[in-house]
Structure 1
């Protein structure tokens, strides 16, 4: 597998974050471990297939820990690793910026952008 090289720290962070859903999943897991169904309900608009894909990627990059409980019915919980918690901390100021400018961002004519 080819090792990626990054131009700067922001490039590396965005590579780990990648896309819309991972930040929302990180946000939901910031206080407690959640099961798949709980995450699906907590992240409106995400499909089951995409959630599965995102969770696998986040586990592979070390953001999440997946705990499988050997019981009937099977139980699986997802929680943040220290690496994931550190990314969540870094995203805090970005979320605050979004809240501060939410009205302006909502007024952007997204469908007209190139």
Structure 2
């Protein structure tokens, strides 16, 4: 396999947790474990296919744990792994900055609402 070369560390970060959905999923997993249906409720604009794909990639990268309970019907719960918890400060800052920026946009006349502020 060819060696991957990155020009700056943030490229690795963005390749791993970047994109439209992964940071949102991770921010929603910071405070409590979630079932896929709960994540879908928290992120209504994500398709089921994209949710499943992002979760699969995050599990593969050891950022998210997938716990399957042996019951009927099957129960699956996602949580941040110990490794994923190393992103806590970064995720907190991303969420806080987004909330602050939303208030800035609102003060400039944009109609904007953040339902769950940091």
- Which runs of 5 or more structure 2 residues have no equivalent in the other structure? 111-118
The structure with more helix, counted as a fraction of residues? 1
Per the normalisation by structure 2, the TM-score is 0.80
* Matched-pair contact (CA < 8 Å) for 2:27–2:95: no
- What is the CA distance between 1:10 and its match in structure 2? 1.0
| Runs of 4+ off more than 6 Å | none
- Which runs of 5 or more structure 1 residues have no equivalent in the other structure? 108-114
* Matched-pair contact (CA < 8 Å) for 1:26–1:88: no
Aligned-partner Cα distance in 1 for 2:47–2:65:
21
Q: Deviations over 1:62-106 (max 9, x none)?
A: 110000111111111000012212223213223322222224399
DSSP 3-state at the match of 2:78: strand
Which residue of 1 is the match for residue 76 of structure 2?
A: 76
- What is the CA distance between 1:2 and its match in structure 2? 4.2
Aligned length: 107
Matching of residue 93 in structure 1 with residue 60 in structure 2: no
Aligned-partner Cα distance in 1 for 2:51–2:32:
18
